[in-house]
């Protein structure tokens, strides 16, 4: 009898499962709809648009790979914008990784007032990007700005910052460091999840603070470092606001970030097809870099739960 | 039961979401009254700039009971993007505001209705009543597409306080580049003797390419050929080079202009003039109201100086009718009201009204400031965008780069820089024309 009843119960479970699956899809459908309508749909559309020439008004014309060809030979500004973006990323990401960690280590004290300090450090990250940039533009004003005034007190004639092609990109880097709080917060969370007994054991064995940092803190923190690195690379490659507001890509295209140039092509020149092609190339670059980081993570990221 | 509630809840959410995406409901007409025509007016103005629009709309609705006008303001740099997507979706405002250099794009792509038939139709418009030159930016390929909203040529503001302090004579109408240089040199002063300039002669406009077209026109040059196909031979002509050279010399050689605070048209730019640290400033009418109330300034205004020739350029924006409008005639009635005497009656309190008789009756033609702007309209040279719809993406970046090069590098060879700029612009234009 038991054998006979088995399939029937199987059937019932199947029906139940189907019903549960249906409810599941129904429940996530608002999100699913949003994803299809506002993310996947536009992504597929932009891929198609990238093979056309389209100015939003006249009908789109299919041009095959022409947009991609033009990018790789025939548009010097693409290379300039890639150069700016890569230089900026390769300086900013290490600065953010190390700076954020140092800040987090400093703030990881269980003392009075440190909650306040943490809040203060994170505060700039809460500010809307545009307001943040405008404040910095005042600070960096070549003649009456705060920074050059301070420098003049110690006898230094400051550079013309955003108006100088050599100093504009370093000025933007300096500006972005105000946003260190974001990575600091993530590091702090990582630091506080490291069990205290590891440090106690190390101290009993006579390890110095320096040794326990290299042998305990850093390995235990490596998943957080990994997470921060991926986030930082992705967001830095998409840098836009600071250059859009502060310099408009100038002077002499010294701060023409890739995404800013993309925006210009799409919404100032209305070369929507070309801009879509640029977007997909950027996607390819970021995807490849992220893949590289993920692949390399086996070598340097330590997960406690993992058996090796 | 619980699951049922859940499912119903989710369904309600989805329905609410879909309704949220739907178009907002139009106001319902009162029962018994014939339904009103609803006109949508799109503008890129914002803040106080909306006041004249709203006042004109209120007056229009008072006189035209069958029409309701809705103002749709989209401020910022996204205005044209929004407009283009609305046009592509055939859901654009019936009446749209478009700025001078965007006119060729919208007109050539069929987004606007030509106005000639309406001008001669049931509701005629007298096109002779306008101030000189203010109708021209609304034309493209021989047809009129837009009527003027507001406009300004360039002028030279000066601060009488600084002129009086150093006993320098005010600039006079009909002055020249030589006079400009001499006046600016006489006013550039190191007051406290620390070796740094404290008062500058004239604040200039750095890498502002459109404003730079004045210098080229006054040098007797132009940036593009009449047929709209050549930059080479124009952007690198002796006249253009002379204009760039003089402009750069004012900064680098004579040092009468404060160095650019930034090279970003959207940022603050230099502030020396309004702080009483520069004696003159060349610019449009835009900050005039602010300057009048500024205690640092005792404001005077004079036309731009002549180089080889006397020339000025116009900055302009106007209103046109969307080619897909369902109520073109009602839209025309509003446009005619807006850009006609009635609208000018409101505009005269905010800017220079386009209708000559209104400006005259309000005493603006003889006003010491407004009269200068109106007189300058007699010397307008056409701007480069008039000759090609591709100006913004071909020559504009090249010219901007050239200006930034000569301003940041005093050793730069102006002729070589302009030659390269002309070639870059030409290559970009050839590619566009070849498509």
Res. B6 pLDDT band, cuts 50 70 90:
low
Note whether A57 contacts B: Cβ–Cβ < 8 A: yes
Note whether A260 contacts B: Cβ–Cβ < 8 A: no
Predicted confidence at residue B19, as pLDDT, reads 63
Verify that A27 and A176 share a domain, yes or no: no
Residue numbers in B near A261 (CB within 8 A): none
Q: Is residue A29 part of a domain?
A: yes
Q: Is residue A226 part of a domain?
A: yes
Predicted confidence at residue B24, as pLDDT, reads 53
Whether B161 and B279 have beta carbons less than 8 Å apart is answered as: no
Verify that A41 and A138 share a domain, yes or no: no
Predicted confidence at residue A5, as pLDDT, reads 47
Predicted confidence at residue B429, as pLDDT, reads 94
Note whether B432 contacts A: Cβ–Cβ < 8 A: no
Q: Is residue A59 part of a domain?
A: no
Query: Which of the pair, A192 or A113, is modelled with greater confidence?
Result: A192
Share of chain A above pLDDT 70, in %: 94
Verify that A96 and A162 share a domain, yes or no: yes
Residues 6 or more apart in contact with residue B320 via CB below 8 angstroms: B95, B96, B98, B106, B107, B112, B113, B115, B138, B145, B146, B147, B335
Crossing angle of helices A218-237 and A181-192, rounded to 10°: 160
Q: Is residue A55 part of a domain?
A: no
Verify that A9 and A121 share a domain, yes or no: no
Q: Which CATH number goes with the domain that contains A191? A: 1.10.3720.10
- pLDDT of residue B75 exceeding 80: no
Predicted confidence at residue B267, as pLDDT, reads 76
B191 DSSP assignment: S
* B residues 209..268 contacting A (CB < 8 A): 258-268
Question: How many Å lie between the alpha carbon of B221 and the closest alpha carbon of chain A?
Answer: 25
Question: How many Å lie between the alpha carbon of B209 and the closest alpha carbon of chain A?
Answer: 13
Does the beta-carbon distance from A163 to B105 stay under 8 Å?
A: no
Q: Say which residue the tokens 């119903």 belong to.
A: B8
The span from the CA of B29 to the CA of B14, in Å, is 30
Residue of A nearest to B207 (CA): A251
B48 DSSP assignment: G
pLDDT tens readout for residues B288-321: 999 999 999 999 999 999 999 999 999 999 999 9
Does the beta-carbon distance from A137 to B262 stay under 8 Å?
A: yes
Does the beta-carbon distance from A267 to B88 stay under 8 Å?
A: no
Burial of B376 (0-12, 13-18, 19+ CB in 10 A): buried
- pLDDT of residue B434 exceeding 90: no
Note whether B78 contacts A: Cβ–Cβ < 8 A: yes
Verify that A36 and A77 share a domain, yes or no: no
Verify that A40 and A114 share a domain, yes or no: no
Q: Is residue A128 part of a domain?
A: yes
- pLDDT of residue A9 exceeding 60: no
Q: How many structural domains compose chain A?
A: 2
pLDDT tens readout for residues B214-231: 999 999 999 999 999 999
Average confidence (pLDDT) over A11-31: 84
Share of chain B above pLDDT 90, in %: 72
Residue numbers in B near A142 (CB within 8 A): 259, 261
Of B261, B263, B392, the CB nearest to A268: B392
Predicted confidence at residue B218, as pLDDT, reads 97
Q: Is residue A83 part of a domain?
A: yes
Note whether A253 contacts B: Cβ–Cβ < 8 A: yes
Question: How many Å lie between the alpha carbon of B271 and the closest alpha carbon of chain A?
Answer: 10
Residue numbers in B near A144 (CB within 8 A): 271
The span from the CA of A102 to the CA of A225, in Å, is 12
Residue numbers in A near B408 (CB within 8 A): 163-165, 251-252
Which parts of B253-317 fold into alpha helices (H)?
Answer: 288-293
Does the beta-carbon distance from B404 to A252 stay under 8 Å?
A: yes
Question: What is the span of the domain harbouring residue A295?
Answer: 73-300
DSSP labels, B120-147: TSSS---GGGBPTTSSGGGEETTEE-EE
Does the beta-carbon distance from A250 to B3 stay under 8 Å?
A: no
Question: How many other β-carbons are positioned within 10 Å of the β-carbon of residue B301?
Answer: 20
Question: How many Å lie between the alpha carbon of B383 and the closest alpha carbon of chain A?
Answer: 19
Average confidence (pLDDT) over A222-239: 92
Predicted confidence at residue A3, as pLDDT, reads 45
- pLDDT of residue B27 exceeding 60: no
Query: Which of the pair, B22 or B43, is modelled with greater confidence?
Result: B43
Q: Is residue A56 part of a domain?
A: no
Question: How many Å lie between the alpha carbon of B374 and the closest alpha carbon of chain A?
Answer: 32
Q: B370-374 — which CB contacts under 8 Å span 24+ positions?
A: B372/B155, B372/B173, B372/B301, B372/B302, B372/B303, B373/B152, B373/B153, B373/B155, B373/B285, B373/B301, B374/B131
Tokens of A272: 């929507």
Residue of A nearest to B12 (CA): A30
Mutate to test the interface with A, among B88, B108, B267 (most CBs of A within 10 A): B267
Predicted confidence at residue B23, as pLDDT, reads 56
pTM score: 0.86
Note whether B10 contacts A: Cβ–Cβ < 8 A: yes
Note whether A158 contacts B: Cβ–Cβ < 8 A: no
Residue numbers in B near A33 (CB within 8 A): 14, 17
Residues 6 or more apart in contact with residue A57 via CB below 8 angstroms: A270, B84, B87, B88, B109, B110, B111
Does the beta-carbon distance from A248 to B10 stay under 8 Å?
A: no
Does the beta-carbon distance from B3 to A23 stay under 8 Å?
A: yes
Average pLDDT across chain B, whole number: 90
Average confidence (pLDDT) over A255-259: 94
Average confidence (pLDDT) over B393-407: 94
Whether A187 and A227 have beta carbons less than 8 Å apart is answered as: no
Verify that A143 and A17 share a domain, yes or no: no
* B residues 367..396 contacting A (CB < 8 A): 392-393
Does the beta-carbon distance from B401 to A56 stay under 8 Å?
A: no
β-bridge partners, B316: B151
Average confidence (pLDDT) over B64-90: 87
Does the beta-carbon distance from B262 to A267 stay under 8 Å?
A: no
Instruction: Give the count of Cβ contacts less than 8 A between chain A and B.
Output: 94
Average confidence (pLDDT) over B247-256: 96
Phi, then psi, of B337 in degrees rounded to 5: -70, -45
Question: How many Å lie between the alpha carbon of B407 and the closest alpha carbon of chain A?
Answer: 10
The span from the CA of B177 to the CA of B27, in Å, is 59
Predicted confidence at residue A111, as pLDDT, reads 78
β-bridge partners, B157: B281, B301
pLDDT tens readout for residues A204-224: 998 888 888 998 899 999 999
Mutate to test the interface with A, among B74, B84, B251, B262 (most CBs of A within 10 A): B262
Does the beta-carbon distance from A56 to B111 stay under 8 Å?
A: no
Residues 6 or more apart in contact with residue B143 via CB below 8 angstroms: B107, B114, B115, B116
Query: Which of the pair, A231 or B48, is modelled with greater confidence?
Result: A231
Question: How many Å lie between the alpha carbon of A53 and the closest alpha carbon of chain B?
Answer: 10
Verify that A178 and A139 share a domain, yes or no: yes
Q: Is residue A214 part of a domain?
A: yes
Res. B16 pLDDT band, cuts 50 70 90:
low
Residue of B nearest to A31 (CA): B14
Predicted confidence at residue B266, as pLDDT, reads 76
pLDDT tens readout for residues B121-172: 899 999 899 999 999 999 998 899 999 998 999 999 999 999 999 999 999 9
pLDDT tens readout for residues B177-219: 999 999 999 999 998 888 889 999 999 999 999 999 999 999 9
Domain residue ranges in chain B: 35-152+315-379, 155-314+382-434
Mutate to test the interface with A, among B17, B90, B261 (most CBs of A within 10 A): B261
Which parts of A108-176 fold into alpha helices (H)?
Answer: 114-126, 129-139, 146-153, 168-176
Verify that A178 and A87 share a domain, yes or no: yes
Tokens of A230: 């991926």
Tokens of B112: 């606007």
Note whether B91 contacts A: Cβ–Cβ < 8 A: no
Closest by CA position to A50, among listed A23, A71, A24: A71
Verify that A14 and A149 share a domain, yes or no: no
Residues 6 or more apart in contact with residue A117 via CB below 8 angstroms: A107
Verify that A109 and A252 share a domain, yes or no: yes
Predicted confidence at residue B217, as pLDDT, reads 96
The span from the CA of B422 to the CA of A211, in Å, is 63
Residues 6 or more apart in contact with residue A49 via CB below 8 angstroms: A60, A272, A273, A276
Domain B155-314+382-434 CATH superfamily: Periplasmic binding protein-like II (3.40.190.10)
Closest by CA position to B337, among listed B49, B63, B38, B43: B63
Question: How many Å lie between the alpha carbon of A124 and the closest alpha carbon of chain B?
Answer: 21
pLDDT tens readout for residues A62-86: 998 989 998 888 788 999 999 999 9
Does the beta-carbon distance from B10 to A26 stay under 8 Å?
A: yes
Predicted confidence at residue B258, as pLDDT, reads 94
- pLDDT of residue A2 exceeding 50: no
Note whether A135 contacts B: Cβ–Cβ < 8 A: no
Sign of the C-alpha dihedral, residues A205, A209, A211, A217?
Answer: positive
Question: How many other β-carbons are positioned within 10 Å of the β-carbon of residue A38?
Answer: 10
Kindly report which listed range (A51-55, A57-61, B138-142) carries the lowest average pLDDT score: A57-61
Domain B35-152+315-379 CATH superfamily: Periplasmic binding protein-like II (3.40.190.10)
Taking CA atoms, A6 is separated from A11, A18, B374, in Å, by 9, 18, 96
β-bridge partners, B151: B316
The span from the CA of B300 to the CA of B291, in Å, is 10
Here the ipTM equals 0.81
Residue numbers in A near B17 (CB within 8 A): 30, 33
Residue numbers in B near A53 (CB within 8 A): 435
Share of chain A above pLDDT 90, in %: 41
Verify that A188 and A280 share a domain, yes or no: yes
Predicted confidence at residue A308, as pLDDT, reads 46
Kindly report which listed range (A89-93, A177-181, A185-189, B396-400) carries the lowest average pLDDT score: A177-181
Does the beta-carbon distance from A247 to B263 stay under 8 Å?
A: yes
């Amino acid at each position: 009898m038991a054998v006979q009843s088995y399939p029937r119960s199987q059937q019932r479970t199947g029906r139940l499962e189907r019903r549960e699956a249906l409810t599941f899809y129904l429940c996530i459908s608002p999100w699913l709809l949003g994803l299809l309508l506002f993310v996947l749909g536009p992504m597929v559309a932009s891929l198609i648009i990238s093979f056309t020439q389209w100015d939003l008004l006249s009908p789109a014309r299919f041009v095959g790979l022409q947009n991609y060809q033009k990018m790789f030979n025939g548009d010097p500004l693409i290379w300039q914008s890639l150069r700016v973006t890569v230089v900026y990323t390769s300086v900013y990401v290490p600065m953010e990784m190390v700076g954020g960690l140092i800040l987090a280590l400093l703030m990881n004290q269980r003392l009075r007032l440190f909650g306040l300090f943490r809040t203060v450090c994170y505060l700039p990250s809460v500010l809307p990007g545009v307001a943040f940039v405008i404040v910095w533009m005042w600070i960096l004003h070549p003649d009456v700005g705060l920074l050059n005034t301070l420098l003049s007190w110690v006898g230094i004639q400051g550079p013309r910052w955003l108006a100088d092609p050599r100093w504009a990109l370093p000025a933007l880097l300096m500006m972005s460091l105000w946003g260190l709080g974001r990575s600091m917060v993530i590091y702090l969370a990582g630091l506080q999840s490291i069990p205290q007994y590891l440090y106690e054991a190390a101290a009993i064995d006579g390890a110095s603070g320096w040794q326990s940092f290299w042998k305990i803190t850093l390995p235990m923190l490596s998943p957080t470092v990994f997470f921060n690195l991926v986030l930082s690379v992705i967001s830095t490659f998409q840098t836009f606001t600071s250059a859009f507001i502060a310099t408009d890509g100038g002077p002499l295209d010294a701060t023409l970030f890739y995404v800013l140039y993309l925006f210009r092509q799409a919404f100032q020149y209305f070369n929507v097809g070309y801009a879509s092609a640029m977007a997909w190339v950027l996607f390819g670059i970021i995807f490849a870099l992220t893949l590289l980081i993920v692949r390399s993570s086996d070598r340097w990221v330590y997960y406690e739960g993992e058996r090796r | 039961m619980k699951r049922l509630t859940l499912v119903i809840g989710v369904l309600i959410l989805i329905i609410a979401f879909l309704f949220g995406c739907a178009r907002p409901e139009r106001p319902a007409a009162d029962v018994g009254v014939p339904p009103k025509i609803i006109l949508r007016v799109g503008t890129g103005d914002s803040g106080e700039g909306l006041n004249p629009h709203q006042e004109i709309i209120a007056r229009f609705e008072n006189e035209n009971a069958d029409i309701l006008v809705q103002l749709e303001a989209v401020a910022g740099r996204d205005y044209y993007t929004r407009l283009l997507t609305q046009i592509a979706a055939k859901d654009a405002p019936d009446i749209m505001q478009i700025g001078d250099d965007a006119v060729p794009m919208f007109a050539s792509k069929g987004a606007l209705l030509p106005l000639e038939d309406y001008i001669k139709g049931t509701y005629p418009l007298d096109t002779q009543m306008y101030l000189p030159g203010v109708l021209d930016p609304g034309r493209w390929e021989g047809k009129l597409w837009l009527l003027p909203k507001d406009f300004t040529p360039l002028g030279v503001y000066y601060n009488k306080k600084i002129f009086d302090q150093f006993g320098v004579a005010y600039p006079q109408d009909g002055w020249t580049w030589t006079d400009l240089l001499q006046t600016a040199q006489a006013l550039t002063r190191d007051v406290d003797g620390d070796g740094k300039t404290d008062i500058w002669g004239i604040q200039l406009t750095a890498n502002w390419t459109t404003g730079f077209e004045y210098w080229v026109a006054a040098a007797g040059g132009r940036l593009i050929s009449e047929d709209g196909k050549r930059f080479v031979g124009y952007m690198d002509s002796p006249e253009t080079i002379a204009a760039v050279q003089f402009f750069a010399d004012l900064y680098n050689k004579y040092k009468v202009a404060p160095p650019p605070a930034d090279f970003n048209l959207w940022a603050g730019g230099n502030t020396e003039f309004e702080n009483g640290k520069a004696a003159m400033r060349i610019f449009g009418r835009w900050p005039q109201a602010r300057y009048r109330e500024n205690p640092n300034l005792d404001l005077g205004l004079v036309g731009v100086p002549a180089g080889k020739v006397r020339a000025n350029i116009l900055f302009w924006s106007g209103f046109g009718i969307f080619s897909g409008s369902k109520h073109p005639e009602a839209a025309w009635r509003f446009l005619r009201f807006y850009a006609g005497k009635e609208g000018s009656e409101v505009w005269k309190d905010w800017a220079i009204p386009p209708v000559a008789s209104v400006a005259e009756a309000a005493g603006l033609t003889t006003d010491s400031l407004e009269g200068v702007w109106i007189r300058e309209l007699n010397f307008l040279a056409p701007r480069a965008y008039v000759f090609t719809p591709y100006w913004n993406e071909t020559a504009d970046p090249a010219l901007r780069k050239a200006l930034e090069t000569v301003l940041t590098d005093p050793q730069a060879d102006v002729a070589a820089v302009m030659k390269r700029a002309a070639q870059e612009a030409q290559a970009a234009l050839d590619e566009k024309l070849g498509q």
